[in-house]
Amino acid sequence: MSPYLALDFGGTRSRAALLDDDMRLIRRAEMRSRVSDGPDAVLHRLVKLAKSVTDAAVAPATIGIAAPGPLDTKAGLIIKAETLPGWSQVPIAAALSDAFAGVPAFVENDANLGALAEYHLGAGQGADPLIYLTISTGIGGGAIIGGEIFSGAGGHAIEPGHMRLTLPDGSIRRLEELASGTALGNSARHRLTRGAKPSILREMDRIDGQAVGEAALAGDALALDCVREAGTWLGMGLVNLMHLFNPAAIILGGSVMKLGDLFLGPARKFIAEHILYEGFVPDNVLRPAKLGDDVCLVGAALHARHSLAL
């Protein structure tokens, strides 16, 4: 069988891989995206990256592309993205297909592809509906319903990071402003400025999600407060997802999940206190993601293979 080419194009880094029929990575390459260079230069570099993992003598069967949304998946376009300033209606699928002599190329939202990969080969096998959340700088998400990517009427679902919640001061925030790595950094800076609680973070130059996470893992009380607060907000997001989708599994990935029960414990507590009834919390509904950093490459290859077969 011909191998499958997959690309994961992100605002910061991009990856390419060649996968075999069992969706194992045969070859893999990575680069900085440098999106500020503009679409033409970036597409050129993406093609070079893709060529670096393929064998010139063996055309891939399909090209799967993971990209940040919003996308026009039918036309293969990146419409725009918060992480891609100035990009508009960029024909990423055609650019890759053309570079590989017309091999069919399919673009899909990166978090949707993460959901698909975890559903077929990761922590959520057979779990339907499945919700996938990736919690790092922001919070992305995807859903599988009836075995297929669920993308709603216009292809824009699901965006759980953009769920609106109200703070105690009355201001309105997105879930990803309250329960992401960015939230951990913001919360710590706020606590360091407003309070006098001792913390190893006071000696650090850069207070970001990673620094707060490491401090929490080292037992720093102020950092632990931040993680507990973010985990509680995550719990509210999860309760809302459970009441709306009644998922068989919610797969949790992304760098913030390295905090484990420090982060998930408060979320579980919130769920126990606020869920309507136990039918909304099937056994083992919250599961750590299994496929790691290459989840979107696997999802892109799976999706392209499936799309070609349709």
Can you give the length of the chain in residues?
310
Instruction: Specify the stretch interacting with its own copies by CB under 8 A; choose among 10-18, 85-93, 126-134, 199-207.
Output: 126-134
Residue 211 CB, nearest distance to its own copies (Å)? 27
Return the structure tokens found at 255: 């760098």
Q: Which is nearer to its own copies, 5 or 84 (CB)?
A: 84
Among 53, 179, 239, 298, binds its own copies (CB under 8 A): 239
Q: Does 153 contact its own copies by CB under 8 A?
A: yes
Among 29, 47, 145, 257, binds its own copies (CB under 8 A): 145
Instruction: Specify the stretch interacting with its own copies by CB under 8 A; choose among 124-132, 192-200, 219-227, 298-306.
Output: 124-132
Contact pattern for its own copies over residues 76 through 115, marking x by CB under 8 A: ---xx-----------------------------------
Whole-number Å distance between alpha carbons of 115 and 300: 11
In Å, what is the CA distance from 193 to each residue of 187, 190, 205, 222, 301?
10, 5, 14, 12, 47
Residue 76 CB, nearest distance to its own copies (Å)? 16
In Å, what is the CA distance from 165 to each residue of 17, 174, 199, 212, 231?
38, 6, 29, 23, 14
Q: Which is nearer to its own copies, 211 or 264 (CB)?
A: 264
Among 9, 132, 245, 263, binds its own copies (CB under 8 A): 245
Among 154, 193, 206, 310, binds its own copies (CB under 8 A): 154
Q: Which is nearer to its own copies, 169 or 205 (CB)?
A: 169
Q: Does 276 contact its own copies by CB under 8 A?
A: yes
Q: Which is nearer to its own copies, 166 or 193 (CB)?
A: 166
For 24, other C-beta atoms within 10 Å of its C-beta total 12
Residue 279 CB, nearest distance to its own copies (Å)? 5
Q: Does 155 contact its own copies by CB under 8 A?
A: yes
Q: Does 128 contact its own copies by CB under 8 A?
A: yes
Whole-number Å distance between alpha carbons of 214 and 218: 6
Q: Which is nearer to its own copies, 154 or 292 (CB)?
A: 154
Size of the site for its own copies (CB under 8 A): 45
Give the residue among 287, 285, 289 at the shortest CA–CA distance from 298.
289
Q: Which is nearer to its own copies, 151 or 199 (CB)?
A: 151
Contact pattern for its own copies over residues 157 through 176, marking x by CB under 8 A: xxxx-xxxxxxxxx-x----
Contact pattern for its own copies over residues 208 through 237, marking x by CB under 8 A: ----------------------------x-
For its own copies, the binding residues (CB under 8 A) are 70, 79-80, 127-129, 145-146, 150-160, 162-170, 172, 236, 239-241, 243-248, 274, 276-277, 279-280, 282
